[in-house]
Structure 1
Amino acid sequence: MDLYSEDRRFISILSDYGFKATFGNEADSLFLRVALQALIKSETPIRDVRFDKNAFEALTIDSRSGIFDLACTDENGTQFIVEMQLGLAPHFVQRMKFYALHKFNTVVERGEFDYANLPRIYAIAILVKNILPTTRFHTVANLRSEQGETIDSQMTFIIVELAKFTKSIAEVETDLDKLIYTMKTLHTTEPTQYPAFWNEEWLRRAIEELDTRKMTPEERAYFARVTAANAEAVKAEKQRIKEAKEAENLSVKTETVKNLLSLGILTVSQIAQTVEVSEDFVHKLASNR
């Protein structure tokens, strides 16, 4: 996934730079507030948010797997945790539970164990790849009974799987649709294809933050540093994966050769050809038996 391209006008929201410039924009939180309202499917506007810099070290990036996080609180005390995952993460729900329960314990302790007045907590995950066995791109989950009855709604988990969103411009209707469509397509869209809803204030202001043509020299310098760091992180991760696969492959071949040697049926040459290793490799393992 090419999130940083010098020949494209807009930076992807899915990149660490794009995530910080939109969801993590402390100077202008309009995009974040409307996005949160859309993600939790609330009819009530969120009028203010305060970024929580203590819970998870504010905005962070895990270069190994492409995870961007933020935590914030609205004017009513509702807690939001937003996470974005670029790579495949089949166990990401467990990470969401860890963060949400950590936040739960924090608010309980601050409230002197007053369980009756706990604020609502929304753990929101935006995933590029799929992890749930469902067809919906937006999933809301609470604690429920086996009959589907809501037991508790104080803690809500929201999972967005971008790969499952396939709506065209003509099919986009809600703010949630507009948000996901923009996240998926902004960095690849040509100027002649701009949808009309990108002129809506909350999206227009966010898109301007990602417009490379409107960057100040300082912003361009910062973007260049982030791009370079991202490229290095991707390169290092690919090398790590390559080395891990090579090590795993060597381990499998070693065990296979040992098993064939123990059978005593094939010659060293036959074993080497079968497992696709050198005869010296087979001789070495044979001598260590």
Structure 2
Amino acid sequence: MEMHQIPCGRFIDPFTDFGFKRIFGTDANKDILIDFLNVLFEGERQVRDLTFNQNENNAQLSRFRKAIFDLCCTGADGEQFIVEVQRVRQEYFRDRCLYYAASLIRDQVGAGAAHWKYDLKPVYLVGLMDFCFEDSDNDHYLHEIRLIKKSDGRVFYNNFGLTFIEMPGFNKTEAELVTELDRWLYLFKNLSKLNDIPIGLTKPVFEKVFRVAEVCNLTKEEKMAWDAYLKAKWDNENSDAYAREQAIKEGMKEGKVEGIKEGKLSIARNMKAKGFDIETISEVTGLTPAEILTA
């Protein structure tokens, strides 16, 4: 099947690297991200404006691993936000997010600063997850982590925070949406499945999301990139299904694991040969960057 003939839904998926960055990661659409952040941090922080930063943050020493963000931006008051979208469960996702956020704190002092007073600007990381932490409660999908005093639970330092949103735990229907955050999360979870725009999502910022995310509004190059992503994703799913089926037929538990892994490695090799970046390949296959590089 030719790429331009690949069937897909009306709207792109915001949980893909392509979809998320198209909707939230450009200057032309920064009002969308500002609205979402203001809804998420309501009562804690008001974002007036945003400037997008480079997505790669090099460690001060070469032996330390650099941080590569999905989105990193700075507010008008100097506050910094990292937004990470994670579709596949990772063993050290929490650790990675903490490392990313800490790297922005570390880099607030210049190498030659002689009289810095440790006046840190706020740093927040938002993790949008298409999976749940293993220790999560079924009805608790929003995790807001702040530095608190263990003795009484009061906030000790309010300029650093991690917020994780487990999308599988959000199960409200359109009729059950009450808050603006409800509407945002419903949009995140259901955008790629919608054929019609829900009546409850007619706020101007949501209308812009639908306009930006509509497949028919993609340029020829963007449509080719989106089709290539879908084809790679389906190839991976078919490879996984085939590997599982063969492993079951053979009745070999170890062979099952090895078959699935080899299928993913094969997809990774094909995607590398076609010029896909490591982040996209990792998102599609669930492999780590190290596994992809050595595939």
Same fold by TM (over 0.5)?
yes
C-alpha separation between the residues in 2 aligned to 1:48 and 1:120? 15
Aligned match of 1:246 = 255
Equivalent residues in 2 for 1:109-258, closer than 5 Å:
109=110, 112=113, 114-131=116-133, 132-134=135-137, 135-146=139-150, 147-191=152-196, 194-231=197-234, 245-246=254-255
C-alpha separation between the residues in 2 aligned to 1:157 and 1:111? 29
Residue by residue over 1:227-263, the C-alpha shift from the partner in whole angstroms, topping out at 9 and shown as x without a partner, is: 3455566678889998x9539789xxxxxxxxxxxxx
Q: CA deviation at 1:93?
A: 1.0
Contact 1:128 1:161 in 2 (8 A): yes
The two structures have a TM-score, normalised by structure 2, of: 0.69
Aligned match of 1:24 = 25
- Structure 2 unaligned regions, length at least 5: 1-5, 59-67, 248-252, 260-295
Q: Secondary structure at the match of 2:109?
A: helix
Residue by residue over 1:185-223, the C-alpha shift from the partner in whole angstroms, topping out at 9 and shown as x without a partner, is: 1111232xx322322111111111111123333332332
Q: Secondary structure at the match of 1:152?
A: strand
C-alpha separation between the residues in 2 aligned to 1:52 and 1:240? 41
Contact 1:21 1:206 in 2 (8 A): no
Q: Secondary structure at the match of 1:122?
A: strand
Contact 2:56 2:69 in 1 (8 A): no
Aligned match of 2:10 = 9
Q: CA deviation at 1:99?
A: 0.3
Farther off after superposition, 35-44 or 116-125: 35-44
C-alpha separation between the residues in 2 aligned to 1:91 and 1:98? 10
- After superposition, the CA RMSD in angstroms is 3.3
C-alpha separation between the residues in 1 aligned to 2:111 and 2:237? 40
Distance 1:118-1:237 versus aligned 2 partners, 3 A rule: farther
Contact 1:108 1:115 in 2 (8 A): no
Aligned residue identity for 2:88: G
- Structure 1 unaligned regions, length at least 5: 58-66, 251-289
Aligned match of 1:88 = 89
Aligned residue identity for 2:77: N
Aligned match of 2:76 = 75
Contact 1:39 1:158 in 2 (8 A): no
The two structures have a TM-score, normalised by structure 1, of: 0.70
Q: CA deviation at 1:139?
A: 1.3
Distance 1:47-1:236 versus aligned 2 partners, 3 A rule: farther
Q: Percent identity?
A: 24
Q: CA deviation at 1:56?
A: 4.2
Aligned match of 2:100 = 99
Contact 2:55 2:71 in 1 (8 A): no
Distance 1:95-1:237 versus aligned 2 partners, 3 A rule: farther
Contact 1:34 1:45 in 2 (8 A): no
Farther off after superposition, 44-53 or 81-90: 44-53
Distance 1:116-1:188 versus aligned 2 partners, 3 A rule: same
Q: CA deviation at 1:172?
A: 1.3
Contact 1:19 1:68 in 2 (8 A): no
C-alpha separation between the residues in 2 aligned to 1:85 and 1:71? 15
Aligned residue identity for 1:165: F
Q: Secondary structure at the match of 2:25?
A: coil
